[in-house]
Structure 1
């Protein structure tokens, strides 16, 4: 094999002969994967001790061994770490050169690179040095130490100062047509909550890489205080009421022919499981043993960002966001027919087979190996999902950004709550005739299609993994969206 070496500023990429492919695996292949904007893909090793990114909240310098991916997008360079952190900004190594084994160095425009996926090195895990986590509105997330000691909140009873030692989860939501920040702070004392307007405008923090940053409060979505176990050697933190996990990382992404990447996907092995609930509603009975083929499913519900891009390319009308905001919120006001058109477009763009999940596939993915009412257990605990009465700042009011709540054991986010999700099947009121292989039930002129998972506007009972509901395939609703499935190559 002939190897090539590319230098990106101080970044040197050892490259093999290019491979043309529309798929970009981000599983451990033994090599870093470098994708160029012309579609060429190289397997090799990126040689650079650190990657420096300028962000709106300061410069971040990430060691090579912690790198997961770099995506060069129209909205900025997106760096993801092996720990699940994400930073958006501008990569400072912007001078590119190709060091070739048998030829002189060849200058290359940095803009030629679309993405780099880094192999996960088998090294001893590094300790997390900071106790907190911060999630931003643009989807960035970071391990951090909150340096701001007090948060000033205007409540119905007057001004309240909340010390960081008393706070556990801080959720922020901007008020429509205002610069006010609504805040809900869950305290370390069980059941105690502070609600009101956050008057603190700037938040200081220290990253896991040692740099400090000042972040505008209106760009922050959530602060989780003292949730990184073992972050301070020898220290004993109180048992957290809610242990925020870093997001799951996609195992597969397909490249779009028009440029950019498709949805983040998780590979599921399938196999035998029991769908339904013997004590549930009549349309969840009788419990049925099915055997599924392996498939890949969306890590998140399809977002406005993803759907809006499809609309811009195809010329279809963008759906209404209800005034809640677009971006990383799940797309709503899309019918089953709209969702089907989107999956067909993904198939055309990638050359792969995208579709909606079947009813059986969806329940398998949502259960994640569990047999309980919800993937986490039988009780609808607080801070697990966005639903009516689930204890979040969005309860009964609106959607929140995808990935806000912990993933299930398969790594999937928001299979319970946030928005209902369209699936492939025509609605039937029992499982008596359900196929043993988990394929979709369909019939000509189907009047209603199945939706799954509950939503922000429904109580926890509707989020049960076995619960099924239905709607007209042409209906658009502010509490219904979808996620995609991609069939695997034989």
Structure 2
């Protein structure tokens, strides 16, 4: 993939449907893979596939099916639809029939099936031209229409917003054991209200005509009338990306790698530029960088768990907060490098940790202020110990829940610290100005950047630097990757 001339335009796009886990079959046949490794081609004779979810039964028509994965044991069954909806639960049908052209009809017990990849078919027009989008606490996400007549909410300051048509985005975070929750509404006029809802659930109609009552304790995010793609549901509601600059490499098995954003590099000044930073941020230094691409988000549990499943690498603890789209934590500098090496092999591209200079360039996004949005704290911009978010001082937030910086990158301030390649030095006096980093050097501590949910606001400044032992794992530290670019 080549990079266009404009490398960080901020065209507002409601993009990012869930990528297909596998490339769809183009031969007109469904592919059934059994647990014993046998593979059969044909047509699955089933009008609907009914999933019993935590919030009701969801029957998905055969024509809408893209992928069915049977979990087995404690793992849920999962359905991915042609339009990118994802549901998890238990498949109600326990036996399927496969029609084959030259062979006898084949009955298959669901317990024997590993997955079914459905033949590619022309997408039908969506039921809703501008659907609402629902994301649940367990990672299900789907297009729907909210049919609750009112969503009464009492804010911390006594403010009330009851009309769903005035809501742009609703975020919900469950507290201990999911018995309670806090919520935040971002209204169409930009007003932000935090509080609790007077109702226990929200009622939605799916794109298949099913009515679901979703308890607020099961809900993670709800966006109203924000999908304008016309093709697939949209689940990144705050994303601002120029598609010319977006890179998603395909792995050997057809799956897509992380979203990476191409940046042009060049000269910039890193370090403390206000005079009130820490000693390790001085003296401010001019740095020259080559073009590179960097992750739009921190690497998530979903992405990291695929690496663990493929390699047998240790799965990190999620602290009981949930995995999915949360940034992976409890990973060492060595773990992060192992993931980068695996992704490089799977994509045949060069992935690595960013250098300290590359990370700050990406985080600043052209700014010279304390934070990418300015010199003064602003509420609802980040997750830290005193940032005013739903997750403050308690846990990490799922990636992409806060506005992106001007480059289009999320969570460069707060949420979790991010490993970079460099050895720790307590000032910039002897540090190279070319920004390449020193990943090959042996050293006792490595740099981490960006601050975290557990650290104060002062520590999420763009210039702030911290350090840790490369073998240490912590619940406030993850990483994002750089992809090297081939330039003329």
TM-score for the superposition, normalised by structure 1 = 0.66
Alpha-carbon deviation of 1:140? Answer: 0.9
Q: Within 2, Cα distance between the matches of 1:116 and 1:96?
A: 11
Partner of 2:209: 210
Partner of 2:258: 266
Aligned residues of 1:275 and 1:364 also touching (Cα < 8 A): no
Alpha-carbon deviation of 1:219? Answer: 0.7
Q: Out of 220-229 and 380-389, give the one that drifted further.
A: 380-389
The count of residues paired between Structure 1 and Structure 2 equals 436
Matched, 1:420 2:417: yes
Alignment of 1:84-483 (within 5 A): 84-92=84-92, 94-116=94-116, 126=126, 128-129=128-129, 131-153=131-153, 162-176=162-176, 179-195=179-195, 197-229=196-228, 243-244=237-238, 252=250, 265-266=257-258, 273-274=264-265, 277-278=268-269, 280-281=271-272, 285-290=285-290, 301-303=299-301, 319=317, 321=319, 324=321, 328-340=325-337, 357-360=352-355, 363=358, 367=362, 385-387=382-384, 392-405=389-402, 414=411, 417-427=414-424, 429=428, 430-435=431-436, 441-457=438-454, 469-483=466-480
Q: Deviations over 1:180-225 (max 9, x none)?
A: 2223333444435242x43422221112332211112211112223
Q: Looking at both structures, which has the greater relative contact order when contacts are Cα pairs under 8 Å and sequence separation is at least 6? A: 2
Partner of 1:73: 71
Q: Within 1, Cα distance between the matches of 2:207 and 2:367?
A: 37
Aligned residues of 1:57 and 1:214 also touching (Cα < 8 A): yes
Alpha-carbon deviation of 1:417? Answer: 3.9
Alpha-carbon deviation of 1:336? Answer: 2.0
Runs of at least 5 residues in structure 1 that lack an aligned partner in the other structure: 1-23, 232-241, 256-260
Aligned residues of 1:434 and 1:441 also touching (Cα < 8 A): no
Q: Within 2, Cα distance between the matches of 1:69 and 1:145?
A: 23
> What RMSD in Å do the two structures reach over aligned CA positions?
5.5
Aligned residues of 2:171 and 2:221 also touching (Cα < 8 A): yes
Q: Within 1, Cα distance between the matches of 2:45 and 2:357?
A: 41
Q: Within 2, Cα distance between the matches of 1:254 and 1:124?
A: 29
Q: Within 2, Cα distance between the matches of 1:225 and 1:407?
A: 20
Higher strand share: 1
Aligned residues of 2:316 and 2:329 also touching (Cα < 8 A): no
Q: Deviations over 1:204-258 (max 9, x none)?
A: 1112332211112211112223433599xxxxxxxxxx95569999764677xxx
Runs of at least 5 residues in structure 2 that lack an aligned partner in the other structure: 1-19, 231-235, 273-280
Q: Give secondary structure in 2 for the equivalent of 1:169.
A: strand
Q: Within 2, Cα distance between the matches of 1:59 and 1:458?
A: 42
TM-score for the superposition, normalised by structure 2 = 0.66
